[in-house]
Structure 1
Amino acid sequence: MPLIGFGTYSFPNDRKTTELAIHNALKMGYRHFDTAKIYGSEAAMGKALNEAILGRQIEREDIFLTSKLWGSDHHDPVSALKRTLENVGMEYLDMYLVHWPVKLKPWVNYAVPNEDDFENLDFESTWAGMEKCLEMGLCRCIGVSNFSSKKIEWLLEFGSTPPLVNQVEMHPMWRQGKLRETCGDHKIHVSAYSPLGGPGNAWGSTAVVDHPIIKSIALKHKTTPPQVALQWGLSKGSSVIVKSFNQERMKENIGSFDLKLDYEDIFEIEKLEEVKIMRGEFLVNETTSPYKTIEDLWDDEI
């Protein structure tokens, strides 16, 4: 899996803008493309990638394609993945992830569920469906997203196939120390979303790239704060999913490979206060959700 992924979530999502951004990303060397049913970008991403493949700019084997199972599709992951493959115009995904450990009613095709949209979580059945996707050759790997250490351990108790990836929020101000250790113990790769602290995210952001420590490290290395933040994630053995359609920022992000942080830099970053952006309040309620509090959702890893 390429260590820098190109995220395709944007709000509002404009198909032509997304297609152009993906064409530009390919020219710059991006090869990992991340989408999800709920992002609304599967079709645009598929169109751009297939145009590049038909134009002999790339081969299908050269790209790594990730999408995610939304909560309303926990009933039938196989059918959900087949619809995703129709959207992207591909025969298989490289990675298929469970987006959240939440099961929703089949018609909930929107990002923020209502209180009566939840169903009882039967994750053993969900994971069995994910394993079926793998057996059928619809994807090459399966994994999860937004799973705490406790939920990873729980999944490993009953899953025949362990998840290969856990995609979670991770950046210099939310470092996921415990989770990285748990995943490392089980050879599960941690992939970081919002690796810059989520500037421009609809759900909020934290001031990673504006933090004085990050800025001072950038000045020391004659580089930029975003490159410092991304290289920190890469230095921890994680992949990073960056989301910018701005060409200059896209070049800047992929240029983070050229930076090497030293021990003093890492030590200074480890002292930063920690702030989580994507807390998941929209998945918490006291009546129908399996999670009555934020602490329940993240198993006190917050």
Structure 2
Amino acid sequence: MMQDRNDARRPTRIASRPLAARRVALACAAILAAGVAAAAASAETLRFQGRVEAAERAVLSSRLNGVVAAILFQGGEKVERGQPLIRLDATDAELALAAAEAELAGALALREGAERRAARQEELSERGVASDAQVGSARTERAAARAGVALAQAGRDRAALDLERVVIRAPISGYVSRPMVAVGAFLEAEAAPPLAEIVSLDPAVVAYAAPYADRLAVLEASGAETVEALLAGLRVTLRLPGGRLYPAEATPHAASAEVDPATGAVTVWARFPNPDAILRPGMAVEVVSQAAAAPVDPGRAP
């Protein structure tokens, strides 16, 4: 009787094992699907209003007093670093260089004479003919002559530099504004107004304000540990005025260190290649920021 009862129970236990295995498999599949769905949901597309800024900006100025003799640009054209843009009257600088070279020649002649006299006195001293006072005086004269040559050489170099500065060159490559000075104007180096402005357009920088609360949410969803790591995982695209998509994308390279207390936002900057100068400083654009989803580890427990 007892044997029959055991035989009746045995098939029930064997049949229950496949059912349990199927339930575990279904549960694991549900957990994995939930993880994939959560990861997909974390890939957010955010939109912001941005504005184009110049990557580099320089002001053209004069380091000399002088009269503007020629303006070598019209305004609006692209210029290269080192390109001549304005030329001052060089008469004063040329005269100053000629005077400095004459002073240097005189100092060299004095040094030559002092060198000979000092060498002569040292020779006589070795023969016991010249006194120590005579040798000392000759050596002092030689040292003073050498210092005079160094001073005259510095004056000559300064005059040559001033003559080079008569031609005012572009400090950076970029697009130059219209000239802010006219031919014949007298410039004072310490009080002269800006002569022109140059902006570099390639690359172009786009700045946009992103709510910091959204940044924290995306930071958590993406799995990044720092804001810098989050920025490295973002891809940013632009929509230009009129709805046209800009044909390049970028990764944000910097964010402001402070949160604007009025808006609760941080400013984010991204550099875009701009070889055709489509993006211009001051242009309003729509910024589309795509955050990459954090990878799902199937072996990680939920």
**What is the TM-score of this pair, normalised by structure 1?**
0.21
Specify which structure has the higher proportion of strand. Answer: 2
Q: Determine which structure has more spread, i.e. the larger CA radius of gyration.
A: 2
